[in-house]
Amino acid sequence: MLGCIQQLLPDATPAEGASCIWNPVFLNSSEDEQHFVINPIFNGGTGARPTKDGLSTTAFPSGVRTTSIEVNEATSPLVFWQKEYTPDSGGRGEFRGGLGQTIEISHRHNRPFIVSKMFDRVQHAARGRAGGEAGSCGAVYAQTDSGERRALSAKGRDLIQRDEHLILQTPGGGGLGDKAQRTDTAHVRDLTNELVTDAEQ
């Protein structure tokens, strides 16, 4: 849709973003006597705007927000070990795409749990516009403490084993314009804030 709008309003249309919210449902497995169901919402990045960077971990166009991690942990036996921006996930450009986030979750009592999901943007990244680069795709996998990874489908139900952590990486937004036109000030700010890792633009 944004591609169509861009043909009419080329100077007022953002690049593609993560588009959909990631709202997994977490619930207990048959091995767990503590019954629980929670449905948090996680967002990816929006596309870069005509004169500004995209918004990180922000739903668009819905504007949906989620409950705090503290509430999710208080109402379930899950622990959220990590919830932070994913560096380099926003597409490069004169204006950078918004960043996605990385979320790491396990069971507090070392028990398996179930995740049900309907995620998009895991195979088709948000495209950049006018020379801007695409944002990163999302990813879903389980990982053991030793670092062994097990890829999970973006849709359907999976059982996270007792020795695994669930990792969700939401998609980043596309960039807008040639990255060579990005100002040094903006690039240094990104490096300082650890939004990008490459010192080269």
Q: What is the pLDDT of residues 78-134, one digit of tens each?
A: 999 999 999 999 999 999 999 999 999 999 999 999 999 999 999 999 999 999 999
pTM value is 0.93
Interacting residues of 180 by C-beta distance below 8 A, sequence separation 6+? 201
Instruction: Provide the token pair at 36.
Output: 């629980």
How many CB atoms are closer than 10 A to CB 118? 13
> Is the Cβ–Cβ distance between 120 and 20 less than 8 Å?
yes
Q: What is the pLDDT of residues 28-61, one digit of tens each?
A: 999 888 899 999 999 999 999 999 999 999 988 8
Distance between CA atoms of residues 4 and 86, nearest Å = 29
> Is the Cβ–Cβ distance between 80 and 47 less than 8 Å?
no
Which residue's entry shows tokens 């709202």? Answer: 23
